[in-house]
Structure 1
Amino acid sequence: MFFYLPSRLQPTRYGKKMRKLLKAFVRDERGVSAMEYAVLAGIVAVALGAMAATFSTSVQTMFTTMFSTITANQAK
């Protein structure tokens, strides 16, 4: 489909180069794997944060009990 544009709205040489650059950037897949790793690392970080918030009191209780038991056994 072709649309006529007035001369003041015709793409300039700079506009054509920019459009060509954008198309090449969209088609380029070399950095895709790095982006996938970054997204995966973000998901893992969020999951670890959620787990830490959920289990923080139980983990703290477990370590407190463990340290008090070790300290009591060392005193004997």
Structure 2
Amino acid sequence: MKRLIARFIKDERGATAIEYGLIAGLIALGVAVAASSLGTSISTGFTNLASRVVLWLPASGTSKP
């Protein structure tokens, strides 16, 4: 029984798996934050582009003779 407990205490496989899991979780969190920030920037860019294009187009509802 002593040998079994000693072997269990020395076993580090579970700790390594937990460390890798934490690293993977932090990387996933970083990717999610970066994607959110990039999405916001892209949305803002398209909004600005759309407002500029609207200024170039003739007003809607007017007809030319």
For the aligned pair, the TM-score class normalised by the smaller chain equals 0.3 to 0.5
Structure-2-length-normalised TM-score: 0.45
TM-score normalised to the size of structure 1? 0.40
